[in-house]
Amino acid sequence: MQILLIMLIVVLLAFSVLLLALAKQSPREKQTEDKEQEEYIRDYAETVRQTGGSMKKLEHWKVIAIYLIIYDMIAVNFSYFMALLVRFDFRYSSIPTDYFAAWRSFAPIYTIIILVVFGCMHLYNSVWRFASFHELIKITVATVITGVLHIVGITIFWERMPASYYLIGALLGKYKHAEVALPGGCDIGCRAIDQHIKGFRALGAEVKIEHGLIKTHAEHLRGSHIYMDVVSVGATINIMMAAVMAEGTTIIENSAKEPHVVDLANFLNSMGANIKGAGTDVIRIKGVSHLHGTEYAVIPDQIEAGTFMFAAAVTKGDVTVKNVIPKHLESITAKLLEIGCEVEEADDCIRVVASKPLQHTQVKTLPYPGFPTDMQPQITVALGLSKGTSIVTESIFENRFKYVDELTRMGANIKVEGNTAIIDGVSRYTGANISAPDLRAGAALVLAAMSAEGFSTVDDIRYIERGYEDFHLKLQGLGAQIELIETERDLRKFKLKIG
Protein backbone atom coordinates (compact mmCIF):
# COMPACT_ATOMS: atom_id res chain seq x y z
CA MET A 1 0.00 0.00 0.00
CA GLN A 2 2.86 2.42 0.84
CA ILE A 3 4.45 1.71 -2.56
CA LEU A 4 1.19 2.54 -4.34
CA LEU A 5 0.87 5.77 -2.39
CA ILE A 6 4.44 6.78 -3.24
CA MET A 7 3.76 6.06 -6.92
CA LEU A 8 0.62 8.22 -6.79
CA ILE A 9 2.54 11.11 -5.19
CA VAL A 10 5.34 10.82 -7.79
CA VAL A 11 2.80 10.97 -10.64
CA LEU A 12 1.08 13.94 -9.00
CA LEU A 13 4.35 15.83 -8.59
CA ALA A 14 5.31 15.12 -12.19
CA PHE A 15 1.94 16.46 -13.34
CA SER A 16 2.40 19.57 -11.18
CA VAL A 17 5.89 20.20 -12.60
CA LEU A 18 4.49 19.91 -16.13
CA LEU A 19 1.78 22.46 -15.38
CA LEU A 20 4.28 24.82 -13.80
CA ALA A 21 6.50 24.47 -16.86
CA LEU A 22 3.57 25.46 -19.05
CA ALA A 23 2.95 28.42 -16.79
CA LYS A 24 6.52 29.71 -17.04
CA GLN A 25 6.80 33.15 -18.66
CA SER A 26 9.66 35.09 -20.06
CA PRO A 27 10.35 38.52 -18.48
CA ARG A 28 9.10 40.25 -21.63
CA GLU A 29 5.84 38.24 -21.67
CA LYS A 30 5.23 39.00 -18.02
CA GLN A 31 5.95 42.70 -18.51
CA THR A 32 3.55 42.86 -21.47
CA GLU A 33 0.81 41.00 -19.58
CA ASP A 34 1.19 43.21 -16.50
CA LYS A 35 0.96 46.31 -18.64
CA GLU A 36 -2.21 45.04 -20.32
CA GLN A 37 -3.75 44.31 -16.93
CA GLU A 38 -2.90 47.78 -15.62
CA GLU A 39 -4.45 49.42 -18.68
CA TYR A 40 -7.57 47.27 -18.35
CA ILE A 41 -7.99 48.08 -14.63
CA ARG A 42 -7.43 51.82 -15.32
CA ASP A 43 -10.05 51.80 -18.10
CA TYR A 44 -12.47 49.82 -15.92
CA ALA A 45 -11.97 52.25 -13.00
CA GLU A 46 -12.68 55.21 -15.26
CA THR A 47 -15.87 53.55 -16.53
CA VAL A 48 -17.03 52.85 -12.98
CA ARG A 49 -16.28 56.46 -11.93
CA GLN A 50 -18.28 57.89 -14.83
CA THR A 51 -21.30 55.72 -14.02
CA GLY A 52 -21.20 56.67 -10.33
CA GLY A 53 -20.23 53.20 -9.10
CA SER A 54 -17.31 52.03 -6.96
CA MET A 55 -14.57 49.50 -7.60
CA LYS A 56 -13.11 47.25 -4.91
CA LYS A 57 -9.80 45.66 -5.63
CA LEU A 58 -9.80 41.94 -5.00
CA GLU A 59 -6.31 40.98 -3.86
CA HIS A 60 -4.67 37.92 -5.36
CA TRP A 61 -4.36 36.05 -2.05
CA LYS A 62 -8.11 36.42 -1.51
CA VAL A 63 -8.78 35.09 -4.99
CA ILE A 64 -6.56 32.07 -4.31
CA ALA A 65 -8.23 31.40 -0.97
CA ILE A 66 -11.73 31.60 -2.43
CA TYR A 67 -10.71 29.43 -5.38
CA LEU A 68 -9.20 26.80 -3.08
CA ILE A 69 -12.32 26.63 -0.92
CA ILE A 70 -14.76 26.48 -3.84
CA TYR A 71 -12.61 23.98 -5.70
CA ASP A 72 -12.16 21.64 -2.73
CA MET A 73 -15.86 21.73 -1.83
CA ILE A 74 -17.16 21.25 -5.36
CA ALA A 75 -14.48 19.46 -7.35
CA VAL A 76 -13.48 16.95 -4.68
CA ASN A 77 -16.52 16.27 -2.50
CA PHE A 78 -19.09 16.47 -5.29
CA SER A 79 -17.03 14.29 -7.62
CA TYR A 80 -16.53 11.71 -4.86
CA PHE A 81 -20.27 11.67 -4.16
CA MET A 82 -21.20 11.43 -7.85
CA ALA A 83 -18.69 8.65 -8.44
CA LEU A 84 -20.29 6.54 -5.73
CA LEU A 85 -23.70 7.02 -7.34
CA VAL A 86 -22.55 6.41 -10.92
CA ARG A 87 -20.23 3.49 -10.22
CA PHE A 88 -22.46 1.73 -7.75
CA ASP A 89 -25.91 2.14 -9.30
CA PHE A 90 -27.13 5.01 -7.12
CA ARG A 91 -26.64 3.27 -3.79
CA TYR A 92 -23.99 3.21 -1.11
CA SER A 93 -23.31 -0.49 -1.50
CA SER A 94 -19.56 -0.05 -1.76
CA ILE A 95 -16.88 2.26 -0.45
CA PRO A 96 -13.58 2.45 -2.38
CA THR A 97 -10.78 2.41 0.17
CA ASP A 98 -7.69 1.28 -1.71
CA TYR A 99 -5.86 4.37 -2.98
CA PHE A 100 -5.89 3.46 -6.64
CA ALA A 101 -9.37 1.91 -6.42
CA ALA A 102 -10.63 5.17 -4.95
CA TRP A 103 -8.84 7.22 -7.60
CA ARG A 104 -10.12 4.95 -10.39
CA SER A 105 -13.69 5.24 -9.17
CA PHE A 106 -14.03 8.94 -9.70
CA ALA A 107 -11.01 10.04 -11.75
CA PRO A 108 -13.15 10.72 -14.89
CA ILE A 109 -15.69 12.86 -13.03
CA TYR A 110 -12.95 14.49 -10.99
CA THR A 111 -11.09 15.45 -14.19
CA ILE A 112 -14.24 16.82 -15.84
CA ILE A 113 -15.02 19.01 -12.82
CA ILE A 114 -11.42 20.26 -12.73
CA LEU A 115 -11.81 21.40 -16.34
CA VAL A 116 -15.26 22.92 -15.76
CA VAL A 117 -14.19 24.86 -12.67
CA PHE A 118 -10.95 25.97 -14.30
CA GLY A 119 -12.83 26.94 -17.47
CA CYS A 120 -15.40 28.98 -15.52
CA MET A 121 -12.65 30.77 -13.62
CA HIS A 122 -10.79 31.50 -16.85
CA LEU A 123 -13.98 32.77 -18.49
CA TYR A 124 -14.65 34.97 -15.48
CA ASN A 125 -11.05 36.14 -15.58
CA SER A 126 -11.33 37.08 -19.25
CA VAL A 127 -14.05 39.58 -18.24
CA TRP A 128 -12.80 40.81 -14.84
CA ARG A 129 -9.05 40.23 -15.27
CA PHE A 130 -8.25 39.48 -11.63
CA ALA A 131 -5.37 37.14 -12.53
CA SER A 132 -3.34 36.03 -15.53
CA PHE A 133 -3.78 32.73 -17.31
CA HIS A 134 -0.43 31.57 -15.97
CA GLU A 135 -1.41 32.47 -12.41
CA LEU A 136 -4.57 30.42 -12.80
CA ILE A 137 -2.49 27.40 -13.81
CA LYS A 138 -0.37 27.79 -10.67
CA ILE A 139 -3.51 28.06 -8.51
CA THR A 140 -4.90 24.94 -10.19
CA VAL A 141 -1.71 23.00 -9.32
CA ALA A 142 -2.21 23.91 -5.66
CA THR A 143 -5.86 22.92 -5.71
CA VAL A 144 -5.18 19.60 -7.46
CA ILE A 145 -2.70 18.75 -4.68
CA THR A 146 -5.35 19.73 -2.11
CA GLY A 147 -7.86 17.46 -3.82
CA VAL A 148 -5.55 14.44 -3.90
CA LEU A 149 -4.64 14.90 -0.24
CA HIS A 150 -8.38 15.02 0.47
CA ILE A 151 -8.86 11.73 -1.38
CA VAL A 152 -5.97 10.06 0.46
CA GLY A 153 -7.41 11.30 3.76
CA ILE A 154 -10.75 9.65 3.01
CA THR A 155 -9.10 6.32 2.16
CA ILE A 156 -6.93 6.38 5.29
CA PHE A 157 -10.01 7.10 7.42
CA TRP A 158 -11.84 4.04 6.12
CA GLU A 159 -8.78 1.79 6.45
CA ARG A 160 -8.38 2.73 10.10
CA MET A 161 -11.90 1.75 11.09
CA PRO A 162 -11.51 -0.91 13.78
CA ALA A 163 -14.65 -2.82 12.77
CA SER A 164 -15.11 -1.89 9.12
CA TYR A 165 -16.25 -5.43 8.29
CA TYR A 166 -19.53 -4.85 10.17
CA LEU A 167 -20.64 -2.87 7.12
CA ILE A 168 -20.45 -5.96 4.91
CA GLY A 169 -23.37 -7.85 6.45
CA ALA A 170 -25.67 -4.83 6.33
CA LEU A 171 -24.74 -3.86 2.75
CA LEU A 172 -24.81 -7.43 1.49
CA GLY A 173 -28.19 -8.06 3.10
CA LYS A 174 -29.79 -4.96 1.59
CA TYR A 175 -27.95 -4.41 -1.70
CA LYS A 176 -26.43 -7.87 -2.35
CA HIS A 177 -23.07 -6.22 -2.94
CA ALA A 178 -20.35 -4.70 -0.75
CA GLU A 179 -16.71 -3.64 -0.95
CA VAL A 180 -15.22 -2.67 2.41
CA ALA A 181 -11.67 -2.26 3.70
CA LEU A 182 -10.11 -4.89 5.90
CA PRO A 183 -10.38 -3.94 9.58
CA GLY A 184 -7.89 -1.59 11.19
CA GLY A 185 -8.12 -0.05 14.67
CA CYS A 186 -6.08 -0.90 17.75
CA ASP A 187 -3.01 -3.09 17.27
CA ILE A 188 -4.02 -5.83 19.72
CA GLY A 189 -3.78 -8.79 17.35
CA CYS A 190 -5.27 -10.39 14.28
CA ARG A 191 -8.94 -9.79 13.55
CA ALA A 192 -9.65 -13.01 11.67
CA ILE A 193 -12.43 -12.85 9.10
CA ASP A 194 -12.52 -16.52 8.06
CA GLN A 195 -15.81 -17.15 9.91
CA HIS A 196 -17.36 -14.08 8.28
CA ILE A 197 -16.38 -15.35 4.84
CA LYS A 198 -17.63 -18.84 5.65
CA GLY A 199 -21.02 -17.43 6.65
CA PHE A 200 -21.38 -15.20 3.58
CA ARG A 201 -20.52 -18.06 1.23
CA ALA A 202 -23.00 -20.34 2.99
CA LEU A 203 -25.67 -17.74 2.25
CA GLY A 204 -24.78 -17.84 -1.45
CA ALA A 205 -22.43 -14.87 -1.77
CA GLU A 206 -19.16 -14.73 -3.68
CA VAL A 207 -16.31 -13.37 -1.56
CA LYS A 208 -12.92 -12.09 -2.74
CA ILE A 209 -10.12 -10.16 -1.05
CA GLU A 210 -8.35 -7.75 -3.42
CA HIS A 211 -6.33 -4.55 -2.95
CA GLY A 212 -7.02 -4.51 0.77
CA LEU A 213 -10.79 -4.80 0.23
CA ILE A 214 -13.29 -7.52 1.05
CA LYS A 215 -15.56 -7.78 -1.99
CA THR A 216 -18.84 -9.66 -1.73
CA HIS A 217 -21.65 -10.12 -4.23
CA ALA A 218 -24.76 -12.29 -4.47
CA GLU A 219 -27.63 -12.50 -6.95
CA HIS A 220 -29.84 -13.97 -4.22
CA LEU A 221 -29.14 -14.73 -0.57
CA ARG A 222 -30.63 -17.99 0.66
CA GLY A 223 -30.91 -19.27 4.20
CA SER A 224 -28.45 -21.93 5.32
CA HIS A 225 -27.29 -23.97 8.30
CA ILE A 226 -24.00 -22.46 9.49
CA TYR A 227 -21.76 -23.93 12.18
CA MET A 228 -19.17 -21.49 13.58
CA ASP A 229 -15.80 -23.20 14.07
CA VAL A 230 -15.00 -20.74 16.86
CA VAL A 231 -17.21 -18.34 18.80
CA SER A 232 -16.98 -15.00 17.01
CA VAL A 233 -18.97 -11.91 17.95
CA GLY A 234 -18.20 -10.10 14.69
CA ALA A 235 -19.07 -13.08 12.48
CA THR A 236 -22.31 -13.72 14.38
CA ILE A 237 -23.38 -10.10 13.96
CA ASN A 238 -22.38 -9.97 10.29
CA ILE A 239 -24.20 -13.19 9.38
CA MET A 240 -27.30 -12.03 11.27
CA MET A 241 -27.44 -8.77 9.30
CA ALA A 242 -26.85 -10.52 5.98
CA ALA A 243 -29.40 -13.29 6.67
CA VAL A 244 -32.21 -11.12 7.99
CA MET A 245 -33.49 -10.44 4.43
CA ALA A 246 -32.34 -13.71 2.85
CA GLU A 247 -34.82 -16.21 1.44
CA GLY A 248 -35.72 -19.02 3.85
CA THR A 249 -34.34 -19.82 7.28
CA THR A 250 -30.78 -19.44 8.54
CA ILE A 251 -29.48 -21.30 11.58
CA ILE A 252 -26.25 -20.20 13.25
CA GLU A 253 -24.76 -22.79 15.62
CA ASN A 254 -22.04 -22.05 18.20
CA SER A 255 -23.01 -18.39 17.97
CA ALA A 256 -21.72 -15.63 20.24
CA LYS A 257 -23.87 -14.81 23.27
CA GLU A 258 -22.62 -11.31 24.07
CA PRO A 259 -25.19 -8.77 25.29
CA HIS A 260 -24.74 -6.60 22.20
CA VAL A 261 -25.49 -9.61 19.97
CA VAL A 262 -28.80 -9.97 21.80
CA ASP A 263 -29.32 -6.21 21.57
CA LEU A 264 -28.78 -6.26 17.80
CA ALA A 265 -31.30 -9.09 17.43
CA ASN A 266 -33.85 -7.14 19.47
CA PHE A 267 -33.19 -4.03 17.37
CA LEU A 268 -33.65 -5.91 14.10
CA ASN A 269 -36.81 -7.57 15.43
CA SER A 270 -38.20 -4.12 16.23
CA MET A 271 -37.68 -3.32 12.52
CA GLY A 272 -39.66 -6.36 11.41
CA ALA A 273 -37.00 -9.09 11.40
CA ASN A 274 -37.69 -12.61 12.68
CA ILE A 275 -34.74 -13.65 14.88
CA LYS A 276 -34.98 -16.15 17.74
CA GLY A 277 -32.43 -17.68 20.07
CA ALA A 278 -30.05 -14.68 20.43
CA GLY A 279 -28.07 -15.15 23.64
CA THR A 280 -27.97 -18.94 23.23
CA ASP A 281 -25.74 -21.31 21.24
CA VAL A 282 -28.21 -21.44 18.33
CA ILE A 283 -29.76 -18.47 16.53
CA ARG A 284 -32.61 -18.97 14.03
CA ILE A 285 -33.36 -16.30 11.47
CA LYS A 286 -36.37 -16.42 9.17
CA GLY A 287 -35.82 -14.06 6.25
CA VAL A 288 -38.25 -11.18 5.64
CA SER A 289 -38.85 -9.17 2.48
CA HIS A 290 -38.23 -5.75 4.00
CA LEU A 291 -37.48 -3.87 7.23
CA HIS A 292 -39.14 -0.72 8.52
CA GLY A 293 -38.00 2.19 10.67
CA THR A 294 -37.99 2.05 14.43
CA GLU A 295 -37.02 3.84 17.64
CA TYR A 296 -34.75 1.87 19.92
CA ALA A 297 -32.71 2.43 23.10
CA VAL A 298 -29.28 0.78 22.98
CA ILE A 299 -28.07 -1.11 26.07
CA PRO A 300 -25.39 0.47 28.30
CA ASP A 301 -21.73 -0.25 27.52
CA GLN A 302 -20.62 -2.92 30.00
CA ILE A 303 -16.92 -2.32 29.25
CA GLU A 304 -17.12 1.38 30.13
CA ALA A 305 -19.04 0.45 33.28
CA GLY A 306 -16.44 -2.20 34.13
CA THR A 307 -13.64 0.35 33.68
CA PHE A 308 -15.16 2.64 36.31
CA MET A 309 -15.72 -0.36 38.61
CA PHE A 310 -12.00 -1.16 38.44
CA ALA A 311 -11.20 2.53 38.93
CA ALA A 312 -12.62 2.07 42.43
CA ALA A 313 -10.47 -1.01 43.01
CA VAL A 314 -7.24 0.60 41.77
CA THR A 315 -7.66 3.85 43.73
CA LYS A 316 -9.15 2.24 46.87
CA GLY A 317 -12.26 4.28 46.30
CA ASP A 318 -16.05 4.09 46.51
CA VAL A 319 -17.77 4.34 43.12
CA THR A 320 -21.40 3.89 42.11
CA VAL A 321 -21.96 3.26 38.41
CA LYS A 322 -25.51 4.08 37.28
CA ASN A 323 -27.52 3.13 34.20
CA VAL A 324 -26.07 -0.37 33.88
CA ILE A 325 -27.45 -3.88 33.58
CA PRO A 326 -25.84 -5.85 36.46
CA LYS A 327 -26.50 -9.17 34.71
CA HIS A 328 -24.07 -8.14 31.93
CA LEU A 329 -21.34 -7.43 34.49
CA GLU A 330 -21.41 -10.71 36.42
CA SER A 331 -17.94 -11.91 35.34
CA ILE A 332 -16.43 -8.53 36.28
CA THR A 333 -18.27 -8.45 39.59
CA ALA A 334 -17.07 -11.98 40.42
CA LYS A 335 -13.40 -11.01 39.97
CA LEU A 336 -13.80 -7.85 42.02
CA LEU A 337 -15.20 -9.94 44.86
CA GLU A 338 -12.31 -12.41 44.51
CA ILE A 339 -9.68 -9.69 44.94
CA GLY A 340 -11.37 -8.29 48.05
CA CYS A 341 -13.69 -5.53 46.90
CA GLU A 342 -17.23 -5.05 48.17
CA VAL A 343 -19.91 -4.99 45.46
CA GLU A 344 -23.53 -3.95 45.92
CA GLU A 345 -26.04 -4.42 43.09
CA ALA A 346 -29.36 -2.67 42.50
CA ASP A 347 -31.78 -2.74 39.58
CA ASP A 348 -29.78 -0.41 37.34
CA CYS A 349 -26.62 0.47 39.26
CA ILE A 350 -23.59 -1.12 40.92
CA ARG A 351 -21.50 0.18 43.82
CA VAL A 352 -17.88 -0.91 44.27
CA VAL A 353 -15.97 -0.20 47.50
CA ALA A 354 -12.27 -1.06 47.88
CA SER A 355 -11.57 -0.54 51.58
CA LYS A 356 -9.31 -3.59 52.06
CA PRO A 357 -5.95 -4.55 50.52
CA LEU A 358 -6.36 -6.23 47.11
CA GLN A 359 -5.74 -9.98 46.88
CA HIS A 360 -4.18 -12.00 44.05
CA THR A 361 -6.20 -14.19 41.68
CA GLN A 362 -6.10 -15.92 38.28
CA VAL A 363 -7.94 -14.63 35.20
CA LYS A 364 -8.48 -16.04 31.73
CA THR A 365 -10.29 -14.05 29.05
CA LEU A 366 -13.11 -15.92 27.32
CA PRO A 367 -16.17 -15.21 25.17
CA TYR A 368 -19.27 -14.14 27.10
CA PRO A 369 -20.27 -15.06 29.77
CA GLY A 370 -16.56 -15.44 30.55
CA PHE A 371 -14.29 -12.57 31.56
CA PRO A 372 -14.13 -10.09 28.63
CA THR A 373 -10.88 -9.50 26.80
CA ASP A 374 -11.64 -5.76 26.77
CA MET A 375 -11.36 -5.77 30.58
CA GLN A 376 -8.02 -7.57 30.71
CA PRO A 377 -5.79 -4.44 30.92
CA GLN A 378 -7.96 -2.95 33.68
CA ILE A 379 -7.80 -6.03 35.92
CA THR A 380 -4.06 -6.37 35.26
CA VAL A 381 -3.53 -2.83 36.57
CA ALA A 382 -5.52 -3.73 39.70
CA LEU A 383 -3.65 -7.01 40.23
CA GLY A 384 -0.36 -5.14 39.92
CA LEU A 385 -1.26 -3.53 43.27
CA SER A 386 -2.45 -6.74 44.95
CA LYS A 387 -0.73 -8.97 47.50
CA GLY A 388 0.92 -12.08 46.07
CA THR A 389 1.30 -13.41 42.53
CA SER A 390 -1.49 -13.29 39.99
CA ILE A 391 -1.74 -14.85 36.52
CA VAL A 392 -3.65 -13.32 33.60
CA THR A 393 -4.13 -15.42 30.45
CA GLU A 394 -5.28 -13.79 27.20
CA SER A 395 -7.07 -16.28 24.94
CA ILE A 396 -8.72 -13.93 22.41
CA PHE A 397 -6.03 -11.60 21.02
CA GLU A 398 -2.36 -12.48 20.78
CA ASN A 399 -0.93 -8.98 21.09
CA ARG A 400 -2.79 -7.50 24.02
CA PHE A 401 0.05 -7.07 26.51
CA LYS A 402 1.80 -4.17 24.75
CA TYR A 403 0.86 -1.86 27.61
CA VAL A 404 2.91 -3.89 30.12
CA ASP A 405 6.11 -2.01 29.19
CA GLU A 406 4.39 1.27 30.03
CA LEU A 407 3.08 -0.13 33.30
CA THR A 408 6.57 -1.37 34.18
CA ARG A 409 7.83 2.21 33.87
CA MET A 410 5.42 3.06 36.66
CA GLY A 411 6.92 0.41 38.94
CA ALA A 412 4.81 -2.66 38.13
CA ASN A 413 6.44 -6.10 38.37
CA ILE A 414 4.98 -8.03 35.43
CA LYS A 415 6.53 -10.73 33.25
CA VAL A 416 4.86 -11.71 29.99
CA GLU A 417 5.36 -15.20 28.55
CA GLY A 418 3.42 -15.78 25.35
CA ASN A 419 -0.25 -15.11 26.09
CA THR A 420 0.22 -15.13 29.87
CA ALA A 421 1.23 -12.35 32.27
CA ILE A 422 2.70 -13.24 35.66
CA ILE A 423 2.12 -10.37 38.09
CA ASP A 424 3.91 -9.88 41.40
CA GLY A 425 2.01 -7.19 43.25
CA VAL A 426 3.73 -3.98 44.39
CA SER A 427 2.66 -1.53 47.09
CA ARG A 428 2.27 1.45 44.75
CA TYR A 429 2.85 2.83 41.27
CA THR A 430 4.95 5.93 40.62
CA GLY A 431 4.23 8.70 38.13
CA ALA A 432 5.78 8.53 34.65
CA ASN A 433 5.35 9.70 31.08
CA ILE A 434 3.55 6.88 29.28
CA SER A 435 1.75 6.26 25.98
CA ALA A 436 -1.56 4.54 25.32
CA PRO A 437 -0.96 1.68 22.85
CA ASP A 438 -4.67 1.00 22.30
CA LEU A 439 -8.15 1.88 23.56
CA ARG A 440 -8.60 -0.36 26.62
CA ALA A 441 -4.93 -0.34 27.60
CA GLY A 442 -5.01 3.46 27.43
CA ALA A 443 -7.95 3.60 29.84
CA ALA A 444 -6.20 1.12 32.15
CA LEU A 445 -3.03 3.24 32.17
CA VAL A 446 -5.11 6.28 33.16
CA LEU A 447 -6.40 4.26 36.13
CA ALA A 448 -2.81 3.37 37.05
CA ALA A 449 -1.79 7.03 36.78
CA MET A 450 -4.63 8.07 39.11
CA SER A 451 -3.35 5.72 41.80
CA ALA A 452 0.34 6.51 41.23
CA GLU A 453 2.50 8.68 43.45
CA GLY A 454 3.42 11.92 41.68
CA PHE A 455 2.57 13.25 38.21
CA SER A 456 1.88 11.14 35.16
CA THR A 457 1.16 12.06 31.56
CA VAL A 458 -0.56 9.74 29.10
CA ASP A 459 0.10 10.39 25.39
CA ASP A 460 -1.79 9.16 22.30
CA ILE A 461 -5.15 9.55 24.02
CA ARG A 462 -6.95 9.51 20.65
CA TYR A 463 -7.49 5.82 21.28
CA ILE A 464 -9.16 6.51 24.63
CA GLU A 465 -11.33 9.30 23.21
CA ARG A 466 -12.62 6.91 20.55
CA GLY A 467 -14.16 4.57 23.12
CA TYR A 468 -14.90 6.73 26.17
CA GLU A 469 -17.00 9.88 25.99
CA ASP A 470 -15.76 12.68 28.28
CA PHE A 471 -13.59 10.17 30.14
CA HIS A 472 -11.55 12.79 32.00
CA LEU A 473 -14.66 14.76 33.00
CA LYS A 474 -16.32 11.68 34.49
CA LEU A 475 -13.14 10.87 36.42
CA GLN A 476 -12.99 14.48 37.64
CA GLY A 477 -16.54 14.02 38.90
CA LEU A 478 -15.28 11.07 40.96
CA GLY A 479 -12.55 13.22 42.52
CA ALA A 480 -9.61 12.46 40.24
CA GLN A 481 -6.99 15.15 39.66
CA ILE A 482 -6.91 14.82 35.89
CA GLU A 483 -6.81 17.37 33.09
CA LEU A 484 -6.81 17.25 29.29
CA ILE A 485 -3.77 19.23 28.14
CA GLU A 486 -2.51 20.27 24.71
CA THR A 487 0.65 22.28 25.42
CA GLU A 488 3.55 22.37 27.87
CA ARG A 489 2.06 25.55 29.28
CA ASP A 490 -1.16 23.70 30.10
CA LEU A 491 0.91 21.03 31.86
CA ARG A 492 2.73 23.60 33.99
CA LYS A 493 -0.57 25.25 34.94
CA PHE A 494 -2.00 21.88 35.95
CA LYS A 495 0.99 21.09 38.15
CA LEU A 496 0.76 24.50 39.83
CA LYS A 497 -2.99 24.08 40.37
CA ILE A 498 -2.73 20.77 42.20
CA GLY A 499 0.51 21.60 43.97
The whole-angstrom separation of Cα 103 and Cα 83 is: 10
Does pLDDT of 252 surpass 60? yes
Name the phi and psi angles at 108, rounded to 5. -60, -50
The whole-angstrom separation of Cα 252 and Cα 269 is: 17
- What confidence score (pLDDT) does residue 86 get? 40
The vertex-266 CA angle with 465 and 206, nearest 5°, equals: 80
% the chain with pLDDT above 90: 55
> Please, what sign has the CA dihedral across residues 198, 199, 204, 205?
negative
- pLDDT tens-digit series, residues 451-476: 999 999 999 898 898 889 999 999 99
Give the pLDDT mean for 84-96: 38
Q: Give the residue, 192 or 45, on which the prediction is more confident.
A: 192
Does pLDDT of 263 surpass 70? yes
The region of weakest confidence among 210-214, 243-247, 397-401, 449-453 is 210-214
Question: Annotated active-site positions, please?
Answer: 186
pTM: 0.70
Pairing type for strands 213-217 and 177-181 reads antiparallel
- What confidence score (pLDDT) does residue 115 get? 57
Which one of 37-51, 100-114, 463-477 scores highest in mean pLDDT?
463-477
- pLDDT tens-digit series, residues 391-414: 999 999 888 999 999 999 999 999
Name the phi and psi angles at 217, rounded to 5. -155, 145
The phi-psi region of residue 362 (left if phi > 0; otherwise alpha if psi is between -120 and 50; otherwise beta) is beta
- What confidence score (pLDDT) does residue 3 get? 56
Does pLDDT of 257 surpass 90? yes
- What confidence score (pLDDT) does residue 182 get? 75
The region of weakest confidence among 48-57, 110-119, 330-339, 347-356 is 48-57
The region of weakest confidence among 18-32, 222-236, 419-433, 475-489 is 18-32
The region of weakest confidence among 344-348, 356-360, 493-497 is 493-497
Cross-strand bridge partners of residue 364: 393
- What confidence score (pLDDT) does residue 95 get? 40
Does pLDDT of 195 surpass 80? yes
- What confidence score (pLDDT) does residue 91 get? 34
- The average confidence (pLDDT) of the chain is 79
- What confidence score (pLDDT) does residue 367 get? 94
Give the model's confidence band at 211: pLDDT under 50 very low, under 70 low, under 90 confident, else very high: confident
Give the model's confidence band at 132: pLDDT under 50 very low, under 70 low, under 90 confident, else very high: low
Does pLDDT of 85 surpass 70? no
Pairing type for strands 249-253 and 225-227 reads parallel
- What confidence score (pLDDT) does residue 21 get? 56
Give the model's confidence band at 497: pLDDT under 50 very low, under 70 low, under 90 confident, else very high: confident
Taking a C-beta distance cutoff of 8 angstroms, is the pair 221, 204 a contact?
yes
- What confidence score (pLDDT) does residue 18 get? 59
Choose among 380, 393, 467, 470: nearest CA to 429. Answer: 380
- What confidence score (pLDDT) does residue 128 get? 45
Taking a C-beta distance cutoff of 8 angstroms, is the pair 430, 453 a contact?
yes
